[in-house]
Amino acid sequence: MMMVVLLVLALFGLPLFAVIGLAAIIGFHDAGGNPVLAALEFQRIGELPVLVALPLFTFAGVLLARSGTPARMVDLTRALFGWLPGGLAILGLGLFALMTAFTGASGITVVALGSLMLPALLKAGYPQRFSMGLVTAGSSMGVLFAPSLPLILYAVVAQQVAPGQGIRIEDLFLAGILPGLLMLSLMAGWAMWVGRGLEPETEPRPPIGPSLRAVAWELPLPFVVLGGIYGGWLLVVEAAVVTAAWVLVTVVLVRREVGLADLGRVIAEAMMLIGAILVVLGFSMASTNIMIDTQVPQRLFEAVEPWLSSPWMFLVALNVLLLIVGMMLDIFAALVIMAPLILPIALAFGVDPVHLGIIFLANLQIGYCTPPVGINLFLASHRFNTDILTVYRATLPFLGWLLVSLVIITWWPALSLWLPGRMD
């Protein structure tokens, strides 16, 4: 009865962290424990060294988005590939993925980079509907690429729920590369098909040399950070420190595109995002402990096992569930709510937790642009002053290719597990 009351309160606008927190406190009380113990979860997650990476990567991403970096990257793309029919759309997808990977927020990519790419695509001759769909769906790309915040957050949650499974953030970073490239490749293939009859861009393109020099400070960053992680020279936290320091020096001290007076607002924006994530994460971990103590995952497994007789049937049901969840919840909230419930059931069905993480994120990424309530759809409609039905129709072809890639990712575990070396 109390859960029904909480659900009604949520529907009437009670903040998500309050709903989860009340559920955790009620769970402790019903289990005969002290509800104050729910607050101890914040101390426990605060002791996780890797958690420091979240605010640092977020700060760097928001600072980049508020600088002139997106415009300089678009100019570089036009300089290098403006001559190639279809090249601007393909490289636009790459820029979207890079931006979302570093900011951790698809909405920032829609607003900051999409508003630059849409006019460029239209000038290059791409149809209005295709361009709108590319910007809306393409801005969700990057969730599977390091140093994506959802990848880090899933690893944190999974390490707490299944500590004996050896789930490392580095494994998630590697596991997302090939599935992410598959999604990008299918969408790029569609872009090439649509752009096959377009003439090369006639508008004067920026010179290559000055365009390269313009991004001389930003261009090495992905190679330094990701090369340091994969090469074993940097831990994830150290890579986050390098990223934040590099961006801070570049944007504030060298380029002076964000003044010291504005730096406080950028920090506040980034920390509000992280604060919301951590509050939900803390209460979610408290709820998870109660559910584990009261054997909720085991009972859920026993309830669904007669209906889902194989791991593949479980994955089909999981994909449908996560696509629906991804339409309604922010990716961070969906992760901390659903992952603790689903992970024990997936392990019981023999699903590798790293493969599960990629399936989770691929679904939630697609949910960003899935009608009727995907958040990217509304952001694009508002930002580009276009009615929502037009945005729906524009994203459908891209959504179809993303769903094809989701099927491949789900049924081909080696695509996710080969690079981390977790194949049996």
Residue, of 203 and 407, whose pLDDT is higher: 407
Question: In angstroms, rounded to a whole number, what is the distance separating the alpha carbons of residues 96 and 145?
Answer: 11
Question: Residue 182: what pLDDT?
Answer: 93
Domain residue ranges of the chain, discontinuous segments joined by + = 12-417
Question: In angstroms, rounded to a whole number, what is the distance separating the alpha carbons of residues 343 and 54?
Answer: 22
| In contact, 142 and 148? CB cutoff 8 Å | yes
Residue, of 61 and 12, whose pLDDT is higher: 61
Ranked by mean pLDDT, the top range of 73-77, 101-105, 286-290, 344-348 is 344-348
| Whole-number Cα distances in Å, 88 to 138, 213, 267, 397 | 13, 20, 33, 18
What's the pLDDT tens digit per position in 25-39?
776 666 666 666 666
The alpha carbon of residue 295 and the mean position of all alpha carbons in its chain are separated, in whole angstroms, by 30
Question: Residue 46: what pLDDT?
Answer: 67
Ranked by mean pLDDT, the top range of 151-155, 181-185, 312-316 is 181-185
Residue, of 132 and 374, whose pLDDT is higher: 132
Of 128-142, 380-394, 402-416, which range is least confident? 380-394
Question: Residue 355: what pLDDT?
Answer: 92
Interval 332-360 mean pLDDT: 85
Interval 384-407 mean pLDDT: 86
Contacts of 138 (CB under 8 A, 6+ apart): 92, 93, 96, 97, 187, 398
Query: What are 329's two structure tokens?
Result: 């919840």
Q: For residue 196, give the DSSP letter.
A: G
Question: In angstroms, rounded to a whole number, what is the distance separating the alpha carbons of residues 407 and 133?
Answer: 21
pLDDT at 10 over 70: no
Question: Residue 178: what pLDDT?
Answer: 92
| Whole-number Cα distances in Å, 260 to 55, 81, 133, 185 | 19, 36, 37, 40
Question: Residue 407: what pLDDT?
Answer: 93
What's the pLDDT tens digit per position in 186-215?
988 888 888 776 665 556 667 777 777 777
pLDDT at 159 over 90: no
Rounded to 10 deg, the angle between the 149-161 and 260-293 helix axes is 30
pTM (2 d.p.): 0.78
CA angle (354, 359, 362) in 5-degree steps: 125
Question: In angstroms, rounded to a whole number, what is the distance separating the alpha carbons of residues 195 and 233?
Answer: 42
Confidence of residue 4 (pLDDT cuts 50, 70, 90): low
Interval 52-64 mean pLDDT: 80
| Whole-number Cα distances in Å, 202 to 39, 169, 198 | 61, 45, 11
Residue, of 104 and 157, whose pLDDT is higher: 157
pLDDT at 281 over 90: no
Contacts of 103 (CB under 8 A, 6+ apart): 58, 61, 62, 64, 65, 109
Question: Residue 386: what pLDDT?
Answer: 80
Question: In angstroms, rounded to a whole number, what is the distance separating the alpha carbons of residues 132 and 127?
Answer: 9
